Structure 1
Amino acid sequence: MAEEEISQISAGEFEAVSQLLSSSESLQLAFIIMILGIIGIVFGYRKFSSWVGSQKFYYKRPHFSRFVRRAVLPFFAIALITAINVHTQTGVLFGEISSIEDETISAHEQFAKILNTFNILVIGYTISHLVPIILTKREKSILEKEDFDAWFELRGFSDDSEDLFHKLYKWVPPNNAPEDIDEKEFQELLNTEKGRQYLEQFRTSKGNPIGGYEKLVDNPFEEWKKSERAKYEKYYQNCITGNNQSGRKLKPGTKPDEIFPIDVWREEKREHGYESLIPSSRPPGYAKKKREGLPKSAKQILPLGIFLATILAVVAWWGVDLIVLATATGGFSIGLGLALQETMQNYFAYIMIRKDKIFVEGDRVQLETGYNGYVHKITPRVTYIRDALNESIAVIPTRQLVNAQIVNYTKENKLVPAVVKVGVSYLNNPRQVASILVKVGKRGMREIVDTRGRHLVKQKRCPYLDKNKPSCGCDKELHVDATQPVVRFNEFNDSSLDFSMWLYVRDYGAQFKTKTDLRMIMYEEFKKYDIRIPWPIRTVYQGDEKKEFEEISELDPDRDKVIDEFGMGDIGRGEGDE
């Protein structure tokens, strides 16, 4: 039945095209010239595109350059087709052409319609590729504004020159002393430059800064952008002059890319905490390789949709009955849909995951099977979850993840407790032990950092602020009441008093290094104060318990000082205690 319907589809005016082309040798020649001209423009475009990719402005203005590259080919193609169309309109070409059999449509009109069809297809192709570039530019502009906000929060980036932040903004102290500082001390601090710097970095017990900022220039955002472009100019010059890590001159336009365009340069800086990017620190093609296999966004699919809509519009313009065509192909579509049922389920599951943001690339998740890792890549067919130790990758059909129970350690709240359990001797005073564990936790909050010097433990006030340094960000995004460290006396075990102590770290992976470092600090403090960890075995005790107790009691004054200085957290406090 479908075959009969297809045979009944009206080809519209397409039937007259072959008759038109065979009606005149000059018309055939014009058509051949147009095709050859388009082919020539395509080859010329490739040369032009390669030249643009090797120029400096391509790296400094990548979106504009891509726009120009996409627009040049259609511009010349439209110019060629329009020139031939104008030539036909003058009647020079059609002087020798006789009318075709259908007298209602002249050869002149028919050939002009063919040329207009080419123009419409070229325009549709151009729009389909220019719209994503415009949308990408808008998205990058939004990200650039977010980078500026991050720069403001950090009071400048580490690679800024000459304290750019304080050239654009001036700190204005509050009129009254904050509740955490005495009025007299506050006034004394205001009278010295060092004191004002301290107050500018100060955070209250609730984690809030004091004072405010007023602009020293009309548009700080534009001044900041100029500074960032100057940094990129320096990066680019270091690349092409050989003043880089490899010591060789990097060539623009090479494949794979050796130099980051400014938009990729910004993205790399954003991913690495806005630190300065070292030229040649990454292998050629690093940025492209890193993004290989990532799922296509709507902007990448948009060109195909626009161009298909253009083709359908042209087909309808030529008189083809789209309803009959759709009906005839309906049976085929149903059969294809049944064959691709699982593929479509995966695709719609992919859309749901993206729309509802159940999880995204980079989230730490645990599956029903117990597999725990990072979401590496989500595609319309399968989802890749990488083990945290990089020992394996789980490949799961995307549709299965919609109905599965998934634990997401990253979504909404990234706080994760790093818990360390320890048992101590029955001869030690549990109050003293609790206080020493509080001291261990407070040391950990200050001392445990990553390779870039950022604190792994989330806290209300970054310890760097006490040293009059910018916060590393450990005091940001702490929206819950998390008093730290937390110490608990868990139970009376067979051979030990069991305690646990935990701190809240910034993400799931940070807990492992934090627990390791806490154990190191704990060992030092226990050794210093003679807090004994019993052997995890059962023995018949034959020692002199009184003598051992006297040995432990020798350091009671030192341990009591720790209680006075650090307290015991919330252990031993009643509901009415403060």
Structure 2
Amino acid sequence: MDYDLNIDNLSIIKEKAIDLAFQFGPSLLKALILLLVGRYVIRLLIRLMSAALEKYEIDPSLSTFFKSFLNAILWVLLLISVATTLGMEMTSFVAILGAAGLAIGLALQGSLSNFAGGVLILVFKPFRVGDSVEAQGTIGEVESIDILYTKVRNFDNKVVTIPNGALANNPIINYSQKPTRRVDMAVGVAYGTDLKKVRKVILDVLKKDERIHDDPNPVVYFTNFGDSSLDLTIRCWADSADLWPVYWDNMEAIKEALEAHDIEVPFPQRDIHHYYPEGKK
């Protein structure tokens, strides 16, 4: 008797499964096909958009942002289409989507702030892709500006992801925005050195470097009486891309020129005077 009952239950379950398969199977199959085709179409549209943006030489910052934004919109539309294909009524879906959007909006206030920050960055352009910037304790080259985040690659090749909201609401130093930069160098010479001679030697070195601009002219100023040296500040101007090569090359060239002219570059030292009581060594 129990065996017959189990067989009857299995038959009923099997029939119901077949009914459900015939009832919902076509919708599931359509939804799956729509999802696969839609994913392919989204990728195709993104590639076409990338080619168009590259063809018309759109700013890489805008290009990355537009592609990210279009990708998000297309996926939302695809998911709505899949849901309606499964039989979900559009009005009900819109109501659920609205309620979910409100809840998600309250939960993701930071993300909305980042999105607004990304829009502000693209509108006012404090920096662009490829610029060298300093922000949020990070110095590096901007790799991409996405919907919510900006990626900055450090000069030691580490990628830092910074929220756009923080970038839009805090100071940013852009080292690439201006075509020229001032190169500051510091040199110390021994007390008693002829500063006019030192100035001439240094300026002669700077004149040999074609990367250094003549306007404004390079200058050498005496700036401080140091503990062990007379401190001088050297200032010259060069293209932004040549800043560090100019600094490194000329610091070495100045050191060699000072040695060639017997000008002492001192190291820290102290004179100690020891006084003994009378009659004692």
Give the TM bin, normalised by the shorter chain.
0.5 to 0.7
Which residue of 159, 162, 184 corresponds with 1:396?
A: 162
Which residue of 250, 253, 272 corresponds with 1:518?
A: 250
Correspondence 1:459 to 2:225: no
TM-score with structure 2 setting the length: 0.63
Change (3 A) 1:431 1:540: farther
Give the 5 Å matches for 1:90-489.
Answer: 133=48, 136-137=51-52, 139-140=54-55, 142=57, 296-299=64-67, 301-302=69-70, 305=73, 326-327=94-95, 329-368=97-136, 370-390=137-157, 392-411=158-177, 413-443=178-208, 445-446=209-210, 457=211, 459=213, 482-489=215-222
Q: What are the Cα deviations for residues 540-561 of structure 1, in whole angstroms up to 9, with x where unaligned?
A: 79xxxxxxxxxxxxxxxxxxxx
Contact 1:132 1:302 in 2 (8 A): no
Change (3 A) 1:513 1:327: same
**Structure 1: 5+ residue stretches without partners:** 1-34, 43-72, 74-120, 144-293, 314-319, 447-456, 461-481, 542-578
Which residue identity is paired with 1:497?
L
**Structure 2: 5+ residue stretches without partners:** 1-29, 82-87, 274-281
Size of the alignment, in residue pairs? 232
Correspondence 1:531 to 2:263: yes
Change (3 A) 1:432 1:403: same
Taking the aligned partners of 1:418 and 1:537, their CA distance within structure 2 comes to 29
Change (3 A) 1:302 1:325: same
Taking the aligned partners of 1:387 and 1:310, their CA distance within structure 2 comes to 37
Taking the aligned partners of 1:343 and 1:307, their CA distance within structure 2 comes to 18
Taking the aligned partners of 1:493 and 1:402, their CA distance within structure 2 comes to 42
Which residue is 1:273 aligned to?
none
Which residue identity is paired with 1:485?
P
Correspondence 1:503 to 2:270: no
Which residue is 2:27 aligned to?
none
Which residue identity is paired with 1:356?
F
Cα RMSD, aligned residues only = 4.2
1:531 positional shift: 1.9
Contact 2:180 2:238 in 1 (8 A): yes
Q: What are the Cα deviations for residues 265-318 of structure 1, in whole angstroms up to 9, with x where unaligned?
A: xxxxxxxxxxxxxxxxxxxxxxxxxxxxx98442565477579779999xxxxx
Taking the aligned partners of 1:533 and 1:331, their CA distance within structure 2 comes to 73
Taking the aligned partners of 2:128 and 2:268, their CA distance within structure 1 comes to 43
Q: What are the Cα deviations for residues 458-505 of structure 1, in whole angstroms up to 9, with x where unaligned?
A: 536xxxxxxxxxxxxxxxxxxxxx413221121333443221212223
Q: What are the Cα deviations for residues 151-190 of structure 1, in whole angstroms up to 9, with x where unaligned?
A: xxxxxxxxxxxxxxxxxxxxxxxxxxxxxxxxxxxxxxxx
1:420 positional shift: 1.7
Contact 1:295 1:377 in 2 (8 A): no
Contact 1:458 1:504 in 2 (8 A): yes
Taking the aligned partners of 1:395 and 1:297, their CA distance within structure 2 comes to 15
Contact 2:227 2:268 in 1 (8 A): no
Which residue identity is paired with 2:257?
E
Taking the aligned partners of 2:96 and 2:259, their CA distance within structure 1 comes to 85
Percent identical among aligned pairs is 25
Taking the aligned partners of 1:385 and 1:502, their CA distance within structure 2 comes to 30
Taking the aligned partners of 2:98 and 2:68, their CA distance within structure 1 comes to 28
Select the structure that is richer in strand.
2
For the residue of structure 2 that corresponds to 1:399, the secondary structure is helix
Taking the aligned partners of 2:192 and 2:118, their CA distance within structure 1 comes to 59
Which residue identity is paired with 1:498?
D
1:339 positional shift: 2.9
Contact 2:50 2:63 in 1 (8 A): no
